[in-house]
Structure 1
Amino acid sequence: MRKFTEGFYAYAFAMAVCLAGVGVFLLITPQSRTERIPAVDYSFALADLRRTAPYQVWAPERVPEGWVPTSSKATKEKGTATWRLGFATAKRPDADRSHAMLAQSNEQPAAGFASRLANTSQVTGTVQVGGVSWEQRVREDKDQRSLVRVLPDVTIVVTGTASWEELSTLAGSLKQQEKITS
């Protein structure tokens, strides 16, 4: 009897009891296999920026089916207004969801803002999206692709782990919003 309560056998017995308890717990605990991504409402941040930003804000008119807005952050400091709007892209049969982000700001210098958001200053090409030219930038080690558009009053960056097609879709959905004056 003493062999069973001391040494290796006691340790093995205690581990078996603990593992059995964990197994029973896992069997009786309800588990959901559905994906839950919390969506954010970015309409308030957009309305505030349309009212206070020193530039005309760009926002997606319509995003593809299955895209979920996951983050929205607007900041205003010393005359600079910046808005970052993140999305989880639609789930694809051959891959998991990716992430895409719209970022825009009147920060100067514009090249610094674009390089910081794209994680690179290296322009790898250009692409036409909706008749408008966008710079393409790639950061291979971070699996990050970016589209950059520098306008006179605002710099727009569409970036993330999403495919070029998905990023182009987001860039193509952007429409300039009217300023709210009241």
Structure 2
Amino acid sequence: MRRFTQGLYGYAVALFVCLAGAGLFLLVAPQSREEHIPRLDYSITVANFGHTVPFGVWAPRQDPPGWVPNSNRIAKGEGGAQVLYLGYATAKREHAMFAQSNEQPAAGFANRMTNTDKTQGTRQIGGATWEQRYREDKKQRSLVRVLPDVTLVITGTADWPELEQLATQLQQRPKG
């Protein structure tokens, strides 16, 4: 028995037993080859946000095809303003976020959400004019729409057509 616990031979046997055990564990452990992105329903968060703000809340009529809503929250913005965040994994598995706030001045909110104050023109999406912004070092594309009572921002690493998909789904829900 002593020869199995000493020297190079004993070391090799112990190593083989450990590797065999690990290999056996990997063979019998269940494995999933499918991507798993947690889906979070944001309908209650949007409804709660609607009860706390003095304007009609904007939200998607439906999620764009293949998109997975994976985060949502309500937060306090500058000066006590309310902010709603809805996060997504897009169909191309990039990140996109929709945020809205009644923060004033609107430019401060938009600049923070887009990480830039530089506009690159405008886009017409669904009959509405959106400001286009791009921050190259973060590969962050953003669409901004400033309305009298609320500022809407769609931002993320998603490409322009995907961000536009989300913009076309947005509709204002009546206050109440």
Q: TM-score, normalised by structure 2?
A: 0.88
8 Å CA contact 2:64–2:169 kept in 1: the answer is no
Distance between the aligned counterparts of 1:81 and 1:48, measured in 2?
Answer: 11
Residue 164 (structure 2) pairs with residue 168 (structure 1):
yes
8 Å CA contact 1:54–1:79 kept in 2: the answer is no
Match of 1:81 in 2: 82
8 Å CA contact 2:54–2:175 kept in 1: the answer is no
Residue 70 (structure 2) pairs with residue 70 (structure 1):
yes
Q: Deviations over 1:75-134 (max 9, x none)?
A: 2466411000011112x5xxxx11111001111222121111112222122211112111
SS at match of 2:97: strand
Distance between the aligned counterparts of 2:54 and 2:76, measured in 1?
Answer: 10
1:167–1:6: structure 2 CA closer, same or farther, 3 Å change rule? Answer: same
Match of 1:54 in 2: 54
Distance between the aligned counterparts of 1:109 and 1:10, measured in 2?
Answer: 73
Distance between the aligned counterparts of 1:17 and 1:138, measured in 2?
Answer: 56
Q: Deviations over 1:116-161 (max 9, x none)?
A: 1112222122211112111111122222111111112111110111
Displacement of 1:177 in angstroms is 0.9
8 Å CA contact 1:58–1:174 kept in 2: the answer is yes
Structure 2: runs of 5+ lacking an equivalent: none
Q: TM-score, normalised by structure 1?
A: 0.85
Structure 1: runs of 5+ lacking an equivalent: none
Residue correspondences, number: 175
SS at match of 1:152: coil
Percent identity at matched positions? Answer: 60
